[in-house]
Amino acid sequence: MAAPSFDDRDGFIWFDGKLVDWRAAGIHVLTHGLHYGSCVFEGERVYNGKVFKLREHSQRLLDSARILGFEVPFSVEQIDQATLDTIKANNIVDGYVRPVAWRGSEMMGVAAQSSRIRVAIATWSWPSYWSPEARMRGIRLNMSEWKRPHPETAPTNAKAAGLYMICTMSKHKAEGDGYEDSLMLDWRGQVAEATGANIFFVYGNELHTPLPDCFLNGITRQTVIDLARARGIKVVERAIMPEEMINAAECFLTGTAAEVTPVREIGTYTFTPGEITRQLIADYDALVRS
């Protein structure tokens, strides 16, 4: 049976300062955020009723909005509390949270300084993707035709909706060709990230990951780096060319949705999920449920 559409569910969404019925949380078709991409968002996970790194996510939402030139009309503390209220109203134990802020429909055109800034928070149940056995098999990625843009051509350090258009296109192509995801290079031809997750490689006993200079330095990425260093694993952040993947023994993705997901194949390159990946999965799972 197919899951219900996201516009037709029971529950509550926090919308501009109050909880409203899920089906009543609508916007006008001439909303600026829909037409011109003036929209930022977050993705958060709830484990045992607690949001992992809630403050960091709420702060990034506000920071992303400022990069796009608007102010979220609520403080980080108010966004934190609204998130907790929304989770409680929907009785979420293990789930996903989507805060979003965008320019409204008061002005229609490229310039929209007088548009009202709208804010909403939705949450829904989302148990773990994988069994331990299924996770360790690893996923397959193709190589995307699209590249992460130069930071002088797009607000690459904001979690902005418009930046995900090429991610959707890349992931649709990958799934159509029988893969689970797609690896994106940057404008220089260097390894960047997957469509919604950062990427790591194991070389010897070291963990290598691309420098986040044109894509998000993910909150899960930062967490996994800290976990690796706590284990005494050397972490190297550097430019990685795609041909270097031939020498990597292990590979995994990190993200709010992905958590720590092993990769067994990227195009013609293959990897064997191993001990470092397994250890970091265990450490991350223990941390988010602590």
Amino acid found at 213: D
* Contact (CB, 8 A) for 46 and 125: no
Cβ atoms 12, 89 nearer than 8 A: yes
Nearest Cα residue to 243 out of 201, 207, 213: 201
How far is it, in rounded angstroms, from Cα 12 to Cα 10?
A: 7
Region 104-131 average pLDDT: 91
pLDDT of residue 135: 79
Residue 131 has pLDDT above 70, yes or no: no
Q: What per-residue confidence (pLDDT) applies to 130?
A: 63
- Residues 201 and 262: their CA atoms lie apart, in Å, by 10
Query: Rounded to an integer, what distance in angstroms lies between the CA atom of residue 12 and that of residue 21?
Result: 5
Quote the pLDDT of residue 132. Answer: 66
Q: Which residue of the set 88, 147, 159, 171 is catalytic?
A: 159
For this structure, is 147 an active site residue? no
Helix residue ranges per DSSP H, the chain: 32-36, 54-67, 76-89, 132-137, 165-176, 219-230, 275-288
Q: How many CB atoms lie within 10 A of CB 93?
A: 12
Find all residues with CB under 8 Å of 26, minimum gap 6, and list them: 7
SS3 232: coil
User: Tens digits of per-residue pLDDT, 236-279?
Assistant: 999 999 999 999 999 999 999 999 999 999 999 999 999 999 99
What is the set of domains in the chain, with CATH numbers?
12-125 (3.30.470.10), 132-288 (3.20.10.10)
The mean per-residue pLDDT over the stretch 158-184 comes to 97
Three-state SS at 70:
coil
Residue 32 in this model has a pLDDT that exceeds 80? yes
